[in-house]
Amino acid sequence: MSLQTRITELAQGIAADIKSLKAAQGNLNALNTTAKASLVAAINEVLQLAQAAGSSSGATINDAETSAGSTFSSSKITTLLAELKNQILGGASAAYDTLQEIEAKLGSDDTALANLLTAVGNRISFADAQSLTAAQQLQACTNLGIGDPTTDFLAAYTAAKS
């Protein structure tokens, strides 16, 4: 398997994970709250409504179980969100622990990936046949310490024995 293929598969795997994360978050516009910009804003709205309603309306805070007439406390929700974040990140370093940071590293368009794949495609392969120009062959052989691939060894031999 070529490095280009592996990098392409890595990029596709990351894209699939991002797509899965976006799907798991759901459609924020479908929230039954007025705050639809973020899940945190929606949760805060629900908490404010529960606090405003008090227990007289039947809304209670119950961290032990979920039910239609209760909600988790803000500390329980914060804990659950932190656990979910840890599960999603799977130990990623701080430099890559948000989708924004991953996007910034990959680029917001395909140009960076295309440039990377082009650069990878311009490398010598030991496993695959390649069509290289004479200049590319010379550079590759020089890099490997082989010398000029166009050297006519028969001519050198013939000249040496004269």
pLDDT in tens, 7-66: 777 777 788 788 787 777 777 777 778 877 777 888 888 887 777 666 455 557 888 888
How many structural domains is the chain composed of? 2
Quick one: 120 exposed, middle or buried, by C-beta within 10 A (0-12, 13-18, 19+)? middle
- Which of the given ranges, 16-20, 100-104, 121-125, 136-140, has the highest pLDDT on average? 136-140
Note whether 155 and 97 are same-domain residues.
no
pLDDT of the residue at 34? 81
Same domain, 120 and 70: yes
Tokens coding 97 = 């622990």
My answer on whether 79 and 89 are in the same domain is yes
In DSSP terms, 71 is beta-bridged to: 61
On the question of pLDDT at 138 being above 80, the answer is yes
Closest to 150 (Cα-Cα) out of 159, 158, 140: 140
117 with 151, same domain: the answer is no
Mean pLDDT to the nearest integer, 104-132:
77
The whole-number pLDDT of residue 4 equals 63
CB neighbours (10 Å) of residue 72?
Answer: 20
Q: How confident is the model at residue 109 (pLDDT cuts 50, 70, 90)?
A: low
88 and 144 together in one domain: no
The whole-chain average pLDDT of the chain stands at 77
Q: Do residues 42 and 74 share a domain?
A: yes
Q: Mark whether 90 and 141 lie in a shared domain.
A: no
Do 111 and 70 reside in the same domain of the chain? Answer: yes
**Could you list the residue range(s) of the whole structural domain that residue 16 is in?**
3-127
